[in-house]
């Protein structure tokens, strides 16, 4: 797997738009929201947020810092429905939990088309009260498209120590480093002419991220415990773009300090099971941003600097969530969180300091579950969320308020017989006070209103041992309800660049020993390429819909295995990324061979 982000393709309603620019975080769609650079979803790894508030997109989050083999499980929560997560949790939450304990070893070495090589390892060891887990990943490619080389390295070390039966501490250290090149996007004329693989050098850059986190968990009694966490990370993302007549540099240097404290109490209230979580968290983000011309790509040789600022964003939150089993059939959840945010921008060009307008936001959450029969559950949820003004707009437009998000869900979970599960969910996601721009007037105001609604289906079935069948489907619609952008009224029109239909299904055969195999089929439907006014009578352009099929086959002998992965086996031509005016071609048919040792 080239990118950890692609794990999300198994989630109903998710479509990935890959910029194919190495360490530049790509885009995905979830709940009808286009999450450019993954903004709009709260991304966590072992409780540490990946999102960056003012660094290259508000909420920028890069999955490339996670080693796939190091992952224990991934939790996905749709929409702003959980009180445990605040800013950026608009389309939902992706909570990645990595391995912390166990005696195991996994070592992989692979190579494939486009000069790809990859080595990955994940190993755990338990020695009395001490548990250690180490991981490493090295990846290199030249790419199917010209000038798309990428070099990536990850390393992680985690240590967990049981001081007593009641007290456990852990420490995690992470390091990521990447270097990449990227070609120009294809024009419409190039795509129509079938010029899929040529690419003039246009972009590239380098990135690093390192830091760590520490946790303490103390069991007060058999029914309650407290958890404390602190984390510190430093990162730098530097991008270059060749504009023919100049080379632009985007520089983002970032330090993040944060922590949280939570208390969980499980008890009986009047004979009813009750689980209460209360907590606080806080984070300080310090970001230095520079935009400049830099033809030599040397930091001390920048020319014509247009942006040079130090931004500080402070976030402090209080939250609670309570689940009560009223009866064996009914469970109710209520929760809420209060988020306070303030900050400062130091403009080094103007020698000026600007305070951010303080934001104080309360977001209520609620859920109801009804299980009339074993294996059949009806659920409904309500949640509110928010979005701050993006980037430096927090400081430069003091009259802007946060956007308001409200989600309603109604669904059904089925487990009628052994080894079969299905979930059907309908949702409405309303956004009010959406920030809209009038470039001619140089204004930004909270005057937009939009709605996304859809239905999602997920199924899993294991008819026999070692065989798993799975599938998901989603249909999503988006509407500009009250939306004037740059003087044009789009009210009543469809939201652009949101695929209507997404389908995915596959099978996996994995016995303990011998041959194993699997396949995945995926369809991404059309979307409007541009915004069109309601009643527009001209031809409306749509994005390209496509099917893509991947497969794998391998053999397991004792602790050794060999796997052949075939991607895009029918060699379809479709865009990995498509906008109103540009394309990035998805990889052609490719093969990758992996040799593994696991115990």
* pLDDT tens-digit series, residues 110-128: 999 999 999 999 999 999 9
Q: Is the dihedral of CA 202, 497, 399, 257 positive or negative?
A: negative
pTM of the model: 0.93
What is the reported pLDDT for 38?
Answer: 61
Neighbour-count burial for 157-177, b at 16+ CB within 10 Å, e otherwise: ebbbeeeeeeebebebebbbb
**Mean pLDDT of the region 179-199:** 92
Beta strand 186-187 with 104-112: parallel, antiparallel or unpaired? Answer: unpaired
Instruction: Please give the DSSP secondary-structure letter assigned to residue 546.
Output: E
Task: Name every residue whose Cβ is closer than 8 Å to that of residue 66 and which is 6 or more positions away in sequence.
Answer: 4, 45, 96, 98, 154
Compute the distance between CA of residue 25 and CA of residue 87 in angstroms, rounded to an integer: 19
CB atoms within 10 A of CB 554: 19
Instruction: Please give the DSSP secondary-structure letter assigned to residue 20.
Output: -
Dig out the tokens for 484 from the structure: 């004037």
What CATH number does residue 263 fall under?
Answer: 2.40.170.20
% of the chain residues with pLDDT over 90: 85
**Mean pLDDT of the region 582-589:** 95
**At 500, is the secondary structure helix, strand, or coil?**
coil
Query: At which residue do the structure tokens 């949702």 appear?
Result: 427
Band of residue 445 on the pLDDT scale cut at 50, 70, 90: very high
Compute the distance between CA of residue 573 and CA of residue 82 in angstroms, rounded to an integer: 39
Domain span holding position 590:
4-598
Rg of the chain, C-alpha, whole Å: 24
Beta strand 247-269 with 303-325: parallel, antiparallel or unpaired? Answer: unpaired
Compute the distance between CA of residue 119 and CA of residue 594 in angstroms, rounded to an integer: 9
Number of domains in the chain: 1
Question: Which carries the bigger pLDDT value, residue 61 or residue 317?
Answer: 317
Compute the distance between CA of residue 495 and CA of residue 430 in angstroms, rounded to an integer: 13
Instruction: Please give the DSSP secondary-structure letter assigned to residue 58.
Output: T
Question: Per-residue pLDDT for 14 more than 70?
Answer: yes
**Mean pLDDT of the region 570-599:** 96
Q: Are 307 and 349 in contact (CB under 8 A)?
A: yes
Compute the distance between CA of residue 489 and CA of residue 156 in angstroms, rounded to an integer: 50
What is the reported pLDDT for 524?
Answer: 98
What is the reported pLDDT for 296?
Answer: 86
**Mean pLDDT of the region 530-542:** 91
What is the reported pLDDT for 57?
Answer: 64
**At 306, is the secondary structure helix, strand, or coil?**
strand
The helix or strand, by DSSP H or E, that contains position 189, with its residue range, turns out to be: helix 188-192
Q: Nearest 5°: phi and psi at 188? A: -60, -40
Band of residue 37 on the pLDDT scale cut at 50, 70, 90: confident
Q: Are 575 and 581 in contact (CB under 8 A)?
A: no
What is the reported pLDDT for 198?
Answer: 83
What is the reported pLDDT for 56?
Answer: 63
What is the reported pLDDT for 252?
Answer: 94
Q: Which of 114, 62, 82, 12 is nearest to 335 (CA)?
A: 82
H helix and E strand count, the chain = 2, 35
Average pLDDT value for the chain: 94
Question: Which carries the bigger pLDDT value, residue 155 or residue 396?
Answer: 155
Task: Name every residue whose Cβ is closer than 8 Å to that of residue 173 and which is 6 or more positions away in sequence.
Answer: 156, 157, 158, 211, 212
Q: Are 225 and 196 in contact (CB under 8 A)?
A: no
Q: Are 277 and 320 in contact (CB under 8 A)?
A: yes
Question: Per-residue pLDDT for 55 more than 70?
Answer: no
Compute the distance between CA of residue 218 and CA of residue 22 in angstroms, rounded to an integer: 41
Question: Per-residue pLDDT for 216 more than 80?
Answer: yes
Of the candidate ranges 26-40, 190-204, 247-261, the one whose mean pLDDT is the lowest: 26-40
Q: Are 236 and 227 in contact (CB under 8 A)?
A: no
Q: Are 160 and 179 in contact (CB under 8 A)?
A: no
Question: Per-residue pLDDT for 54 more than 80?
Answer: no
Dig out the tokens for 233 from the structure: 């990370």
**Mean pLDDT of the region 78-107:** 93
What is the reported pLDDT for 40?
Answer: 83
Q: Are 425 and 385 in contact (CB under 8 A)?
A: no
Beta strand 92-98 with 41-45: parallel, antiparallel or unpaired? Answer: parallel
Compute the distance between CA of residue 400 and CA of residue 72 in angstroms, rounded to an integer: 41
Q: How many CA atoms lie within 13 A of 545 on its CB side?
A: 14
**At 582, is the secondary structure helix, strand, or coil?**
strand
Query: At which residue do the structure tokens 């001209």 appear?
Result: 538
What is the reported pLDDT for 43?
Answer: 93
Strand segments, DSSP code E, in 294-419 are 303-325, 330-347, 352-355, 359-373, 376-387, 403-414
CB atoms within 10 A of CB 216: 15
Compute the distance between CA of residue 493 and CA of residue 450 in angstroms, rounded to an integer: 10
What is the reported pLDDT for 22?
Answer: 82
Compute the distance between CA of residue 372 and CA of residue 377 in angstroms, rounded to an integer: 7
Is 291 exposed, middle or buried (CB count within 10 Å of its CB: 0-12, 13-18, 19+)? middle
Dig out the tokens for 518 from the structure: 């699997």
Question: Per-residue pLDDT for 403 more than 80?
Answer: yes
What is the reported pLDDT for 494?
Answer: 95
Compute the distance between CA of residue 56 and CA of residue 252 in angstroms, rounded to an integer: 7
Question: Per-residue pLDDT for 3 more than 90?
Answer: no
Q: What digits encode the pLDDT tens for the residues 166-187?
A: 999 999 999 999 999 989 999 9
Q: Are 226 and 217 in contact (CB under 8 A)?
A: yes
What is the reported pLDDT for 194?
Answer: 94
């Amino acid at each position: 797997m080239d990118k950890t982000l692609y794990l999300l393709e198994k989630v109903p309603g998710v479509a990935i738009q890959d910029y194919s620019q190495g360490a530049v975080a790509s885009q995905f769609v979830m709940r009808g929201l286009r999450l450019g650079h993954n903004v709009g979803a709260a991304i966590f790894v072992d409780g540490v947020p990946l999102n960056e508030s003012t660094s290259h997109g508000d909420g920028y989050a890069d999955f490339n810092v996670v080693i796939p083999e190091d992952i224990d499980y991934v939790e996905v929560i749709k929409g702003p429905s959980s009180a445990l997560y605040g800013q950026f949790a608009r389309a939902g939450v992706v909570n990645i939990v990595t391995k912390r304990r166990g005696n195991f070893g996994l070592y992989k070495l692979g190579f494939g088309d486009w000069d790809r090589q990859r080595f990955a390892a994940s190993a755990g060891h338990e020695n009395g009260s001490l548990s250690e887990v180490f991981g490493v990943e090295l990846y290199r490619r030249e790419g199917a498209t010209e000038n798309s080389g990428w070099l990536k390295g990850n390393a992680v070390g985690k240590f967990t120590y049981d001081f007593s039966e009641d007290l456990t501490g852990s420490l995690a250290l992470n390091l990521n480093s990447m270097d990449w090149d990227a070609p120009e996007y294809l024009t419409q004329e190039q795509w129509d002419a079938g010029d899929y693989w040529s690419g003039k050098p246009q972009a590239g850059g380098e990135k690093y991220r390192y830091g760590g986190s520490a946790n303490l968990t103390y069991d007060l009694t058999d029914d309650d415990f407290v958890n404390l966490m602190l984390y510190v990370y430093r990162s730098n993302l530097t991008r270059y773009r060749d504009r023919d007549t100049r080379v632009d540099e985007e520089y983002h240097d970032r330090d993040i300090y944060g922590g949280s404290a939570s208390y969980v109490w499980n008890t009986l209230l009047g004979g009813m099971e009750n689980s209460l979580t209360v907590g606080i968290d806080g984070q300080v983000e310090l970001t230095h941003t520079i935009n400049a011309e830099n033809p030599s790509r040397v930091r001390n040789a920048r020319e014509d600097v247009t942006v040079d600022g130090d931004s500080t964003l402070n976030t402090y939150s209080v939250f609670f969530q309570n689940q009560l089993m009223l009866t064996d059939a009914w469970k109710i959840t209520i929760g809420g969180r209060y988020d306070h945010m303030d900050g400062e921008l130091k403009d080094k060009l103007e020698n000026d300091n600007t305070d951010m307008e303080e934001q104080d936001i309360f977001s209520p959450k609620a859920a109801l579950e009804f299980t009339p029969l074993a294996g059949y559950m009806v659920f409904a949820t309500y949640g509110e969320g928010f979005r701050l003004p993006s980037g430096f707009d927090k400081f430069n437009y003091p009259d802007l308020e946060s956007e308001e998000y409200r989600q309603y869900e109604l669904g059904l979970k089925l487990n009628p017989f052994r080894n079969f599960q299905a979930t059907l969910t309908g949702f409405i996601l309303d956004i009010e006070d959406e920030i809209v721009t009038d470039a001619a007037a140089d204004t930004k105001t909270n005057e937009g209103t939009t709605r996304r609604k859809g239905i999602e289906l997920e199924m899993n079935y294991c008819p026999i041992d070692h065989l798993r069948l799975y599938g998901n489907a989603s249909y999503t619609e988006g509407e500009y309800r009250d939306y004037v952008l740059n003087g044009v009224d789009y009210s009543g029109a469809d939201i652009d660049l949101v695929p209507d239909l997404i389908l995915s299904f596959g099978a996996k055969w994995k016995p303990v020993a011998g041959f194993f195999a699997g396949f995945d089929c995926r369809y991404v439907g059309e979307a409007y390429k541009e915004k069109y006014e309601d009643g527009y009578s001209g031809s409306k352009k749509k994005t390209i819909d496509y099917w893509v099929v991947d497969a794998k086959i391998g053999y397991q002998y004792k602790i050794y295995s060999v796997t052949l992965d075939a991607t895009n086996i029918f060699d379809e031509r479709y865009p990995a990324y498509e906008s109103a005016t540009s394309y990035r071609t998805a990889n052609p048919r490719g093969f990758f061979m992996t040799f593994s040792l696991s115990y």
